[in-house]
Chains A and B, each alone.
Chain A
Amino acid sequence: MLGYTITQWLFGILSFLAIMFALMVVFSRNPVNSVLYLVLTFFCIAGHYILLNAQFLAIVHIVVYAGAIMVLFLFVIMLMNLNQNDEPQKTWLSKIIAAVAGGMLLFVFVGSLKGAEQLNLTAYGSSQIGTVKNLGKVLFSEFLFPFEIASVLLLAAMVGAIMIGKKETK
């Protein structure tokens, strides 16, 4: 259609949505709105993952990020009763400086990517690299040690969070 393949259309829409929602995350006043926009951004990125043959990762992404991390954020926001819209804003000067800095970063990124080769994303191996089976094979053979350590890391984080969050016993 219109000289572009379906894939390119999908890519374009998903990218556009992702960027738009990301901008809304940054610019919305209400913190709850920011959280919701972020969730939408994650969905778009998950869509990208599916485009890239990373099916398992897409599902995991949604479950972990949108399902757990964002819920956590919402809980904390509710706890702190941050529903008010009159939340303090940074000064205009700071915002301009932030925008300029960000702009410079973007400029450098784009500039350094300018001369990059135009490599087409072909599925070298197969479309199966992202399946559970394949990923599991790699994860449990080559990356067994980091996998186990990751579980230890999560345990440590859990314990740490509880320790930090405990009320001091008088």
Chain B
Amino acid sequence: MIKLASLVPLFPLIGFLINGFFGKKLSKGLSGTIASLSILASFVLSVLIFIELNGSAEKSHVIDLFSWISSGTLNIPFEFLIDPLSSWFLLIITGIGFLIHIYSIGYMHDDEGFSRFFTYLNLFVFFMLLLVLGNNYLIMFIGWEGVGLCSYLLIGFWFKNTAYNNAARKAFVMNRIGDLGFLLGIILIFVTYGSISYDQVFVKAGTVDTSVVTAIALLLFIGAMGKSAQIPLYTWLPDAMAGPTPVSALIHAATMVTAGIFMVTRSNVFYSISDTAGMVVAVVGAATALFAATIGLLQNDIKKILAYSTVSQLGLMFLGLGVGAYSSSVFHVTTHAFFKALLFLGAGSVIHAMGGEQDIRKMGGLKGHIKITFLTMLIGTIAISGIPPFSGFFSKDEILAHVYEHNKVLWLVGMITSMLTAFYMFRMMFVTFWGKFRGTHSQEHHLHESPSTMTIPLIVLAILSVLGGALGLPEFWGTPNWMHHWLDEIIIRKNPSILHHDTEWTLMGLAVAGAVAVIYFAHMMYNKNKVLPAEKEEQLKPWQRLIYNKYWIDELYDAIVRKPLDLISEIFHKFLDIAMIDGIVNGVGMAVKGIGSGVRLLQQGNIGFYVVSMVLGAAFILLVTFLI
């Protein structure tokens, strides 16, 4: 089965081609079915690969497809690597991708771009699979760029709306900025080690000066900053909510944004060697986590709340990566994929029920009307808040334990972030589902539970969110940490935890207590005292207004980056483009015309003149040939 790993990305590619070329002619049902079946096929194959890998002693299989670039010392074969990390990500991508495909059949049912949507979705899955399967950085980069492209296509899916197009463009440009860093990192790797295949580079990683490794690690991390929305390249993710909700669930929660985590985990040797890089990653992650969590406190769009929560959780994952807790971060990626996809799909269900309304101030009391959505979203929220025995608790706690070992300040930041997360997530739940309905009459009549194509994935994801914790039970409970063992192979320099058991229990208790306290506080505020989010911005206090406006970061970027660029672009257009280049091109044309009209007068039709010119010409040629 492992030998057939090249089929895994092939199925979505075929789905993409079929839907891309014939989508308009197929019925909606057929189009959606083809797309979903292709992902299902990939999922089944991924499961088989996983089982086989589990049973085999050799944990790292390279599948050579063809020799791709071979010029001089640069030799890049097109190879896939099946090892614990990539096979696990295969499962996540194809599994959750499949569920979201099923959901999309219901969600996008009335949309006229139905087949186009599935075309892009399949293409996205193809590129994401390429990203995780590659055996060298260049194939990863292809997948990296490809998912960025699909993200652009899908964010701007409803392209008739200019604001959505701008959001898509913003996402793409910010991703590109990160990609520049990534590319520089790859080039530096090649220059330093002479190769960009994982097996060849990681073996020699420690043989060069630490500063070079730091540079590589930081450059690669810049790419991760862009793709996984860390400070300063995070502002595209909240705007990316302009895309359809399944897109937000798949790309901006479960898979694409985790590409950065995947990349750092794959390159863990660099971050282990260079403490500086690790510290930078951890600090950036922590700062992003806290920053985004504060912004999420006062958002009113249900998807924006989830978006900021995603940025915050990604920050937490990078914090874990920075301190060397690689398997913990991958564990958190997994559980986050479960409950964040669940939350997004649930939000989509809520929006569907509300007929397109996304503002939580206009919702309320929905728990009686859309029971399945409510229950599943509640499960997701409990999971993200880190309440045992739901999955989010185990993964978050593992990361925090490792962070505590490393740096107490960062641990404190992580703790505060978790508490803030619990707060604003339950704020969202309370305001949306409890209390009285605050929407219009027609919306109230319209409220209905979503069709089963949408609710079944919700249920499946809810079950996974509940049970997912079993993947990584803490060692000191006496139970084996399966995730840790599974990923042990790929971590080059081990960093075992040396915390005392009592400390671990204390940390756990603190986390749970903090979460429960915060939830109680939110309950008091929103349920008992019926505090509602402010209707207008003027009603907010100054510190609240700062947070509500996202610290005016977008405006800051506008002023610092966009306006100067626009100005430069304007100057170039006026002076270089129009005056110089057009001038030269047009000038050449006019010069030819002028010369032509001048030379034309030589043709007098007088034969005698022609003969004289002929003779003179012949004389000249002979002169040049023989006498000079």
Binding site for B on A (CB under 8 A): 90, 94, 97-98, 101-102, 104-105, 107-109, 111-112
Contacts and interface: CB of A to CB of B under 8 A. Distances in A.
A104 B616 contact: yes
Interface of B: 608, 612, 615-616, 618-619, 622-623, 625-627
B616 A112 contact: no
Contacts of B625: 112
A104 B616 CA distance: 8
Contacts of B623: 108, 111
B619 A105 contact: yes
Interface secondary structure of B, over-half rule: helix
B616 to A, nearest CB: 5
A111 B626 contact: yes
Contact of A108 (B608, B612, B622): B622
A90 B612 CA distance: 13
Interface secondary structure of A, over-half rule: helix
Contacts of B618: 105
B615 A108 contact: no
Contacts of B615: 101-102, 105
A104 B619 contact: yes
A88 to B, nearest CB: 12
A111 B622 CA distance: 10
B619 A101 contact: yes
B612 A101 contact: yes
Nearest to A105: B619
B429 to A, nearest CB: 102
Contacts of B616: 101, 104
A134 B627 CA distance: 39
21 contacts: A90-B608, A94-B608, A101-B612, A101-B615, A101-B616, A101-B619, A102-B615, A104-B619, A105-B615, A105-B618, A105-B622, A108-B619, A108-B622, A108-B623, A108-B626, A108-B627, A109-B622, A111-B626, A111-B627, A112-B622, A112-B627
Nearest to A111: B627
A98 B623 CA distance: 18
Q: Which 4 A-B pairs have the closest CB atoms?
A: A112-B626, A105-B619, A108-B622, A104-B619
A94 B616 CA distance: 14
Contacts of B626: 108, 111-112
A90 B606 CA distance: 12
B178 to A, nearest CB: 72
A97 B612 CA distance: 8
* Interface-central residue, A97, A102, A104, A111, by most chain B CB under 10 Å: A104
B622 to A, nearest CB: 5
Given A97-B612, A102-B615, 20 more contacts: A98-B608, A98-B612, A101-B615, A101-B619, A104-B616, A104-B619, A105-B615, A105-B619, A105-B622, A108-B619, A108-B623, A108-B626, A108-B627, A111-B623, A111-B626, A111-B627, A112-B622, A112-B625, A112-B626, A112-B627
A98 B611 CA distance: 9
Contacts of B612: 97-98, 101
A107 B622 CA distance: 10
Contacts of B608: 90, 94, 98
Nearest to A94: B608
Nearest to A103: B619
